[in-house]
Structure 1
């Protein structure tokens, strides 16, 4: 029997898709994954109108990436399209109808009561843990499938060099210790100020792909702000969203705490 994903399970996969969208290299893959994430976020029948509206926005955004231009022009168009799709998905997350947890609880209790008339207590006990295990396996399997579809190995991404992230993080940390160049390795301005005696490094003009990758490393070593926002919860998806929030490249502020 097909197992429906719970809202929590769907949200896990939604966040994974968001986190990996910047690594997508083709318009077709961007559109398909964005629509998949949208469908997971707006699954209710009552959300159909909003889902249709935002689906059309995603298709229009992706259609702006036209072949026939130079590779650099296509890459720039893809970056803009990825940012646009992430913004649409953020809108979906903000406007989705909240789940009626009271109603869900009543349905679950009614279901349990109905099943209780059909099965013995021993049989019910035997299956108590299996839905949880099955759900975890289903989520893990779906994440693996989404990952395989995306091509999670960033080594194949156009223009991405994992060494960039390592070098950039090292440059930020060194700047906090008094070795701050006028510009960082990507050419944007870098400056160091002091707040309550703590050095605060500000790097502007950071490519979004580097912002997302380096943000997770920096947040483990100190206080991080991206494009003026400090994440209240730490996850790759949230940091990626913040890196793609504004037009152009990102601005990172960081202060060491470790």
Structure 2
């Protein structure tokens, strides 16, 4: 897997995490993504710390609580998992620094035993061993990536895209006038004027809807999420902004 493919897969995972409704699946996919991102020996301490953070976050979701409480706890756990994955991407050492910090050990000749000769594999055998190790490592990464890709596909099928479409339509139509006082998720919806241009503001937007609708709104105009207008726009950045604050998100959108 190339670094570009790994980054694309990582962004897809971050974008989907807020839509997960099952705590076991949330923990599983977050830990799989960490294992994909932090595979090198020098990443082991960071990996252990982020695993602890994810496990602590999902442990806050209590099955015995009310459905509304569980939804709030899942939102908090999803935000924590997204932050842990972002930390994995930002804090891992680049390859050249890892190699400098952990140079290959120098080989030292072993003393020859007096009675038993040392078995030295011929070049062909040594080459076969190296190839076997590489194949095993690559196979492990491909299986991991395939499992994550399958999850993304499955999750896309169960995510209610209809809600996202309706929300985007409600935001876009609000600038035409007669906007309802509240959007479909109950938060305040209003249209204000900034510099003579209509701007739609929506409070109380569930993070998963914020993340799912963000790129669609960006294609139609200018978007701010939780008070931040990103200079670079991607699904991963919008998802991170939607989960930046505790609770629901707020957005501002101006048409092109």
Match of 2:39 among 32, 39, 43: 43
Q: What is the root-mean-square deviation of aligned Cα atoms in Å?
A: 2.7
Whole-Å Cα distance in 2 between the matches of residues 69 and 22 of structure 1?
20
**How far has the Cα of 1:20 moved from its partner?**
1.2
| Alignment of structure 1 residues 1-258 onto 2, 5 Å | 5-100=1-96, 145-150=147-152, 152-154=154-156, 156-157=158-159, 161-257=160-256
**How far has the Cα of 1:56 moved from its partner?**
0.8
**How far has the Cα of 1:254 moved from its partner?**
0.5
Q: Is the contact made by 1:11 and 1:40 (CA closer than 8 Å) also made in structure 2? A: no
Q: SS of 1:252's equivalent?
A: strand
1:231–1:144 CA distance, 2 compared to 1 (3 A):
farther
In the TM superposition, what whole-angstrom CA distance separates every residue of 1:13-53 from its partner, at most 9, and x where no partner exists? 11111111122232222112111222233333222111111
1:72–1:196 CA distance, 2 compared to 1 (3 A):
closer
Q: Is the contact made by 1:34 and 1:85 (CA closer than 8 Å) also made in structure 2? A: yes
Whole-Å Cα distance in 2 between the matches of residues 57 and 37 of structure 1?
14
Segment of structure 1 superposing worse, 229-238 or 52-61 = 229-238
Which residue number corresponds to residue 109 of structure 1?
none
Q: Is the contact made by 1:27 and 1:78 (CA closer than 8 Å) also made in structure 2? A: yes
Whole-Å Cα distance in 2 between the matches of residues 239 and 89 of structure 1?
15
* TM, length-normalised to structure 2: 0.74
Q: SS of 1:200's equivalent?
A: strand
Q: Is the contact made by 1:38 and 1:92 (CA closer than 8 Å) also made in structure 2? A: yes
Q: Is the contact made by 1:24 and 1:150 (CA closer than 8 Å) also made in structure 2? A: no
In the TM superposition, what whole-angstrom CA distance separates every residue of 1:151-199 from its partner, at most 9, and x where no partner exists? 5354535xxx433222221221122223333222222122222223221
Whole-Å Cα distance in 1 between the matches of residues 92 and 157 of structure 2?
35
Q: Is the contact made by 2:204 and 2:248 (CA closer than 8 Å) also made in structure 1? A: yes
Instruction: List alignment gaps of at least 5 residues for structure 1.
Output: 104-134
Instruction: List alignment gaps of at least 5 residues for structure 2.
Output: 100-137
How many pairs does the alignment contain? 216
In the TM superposition, what whole-angstrom CA distance separates every residue of 1:39-72 from its partner, at most 9, and x where no partner exists? 2333332221111111111111112223233333
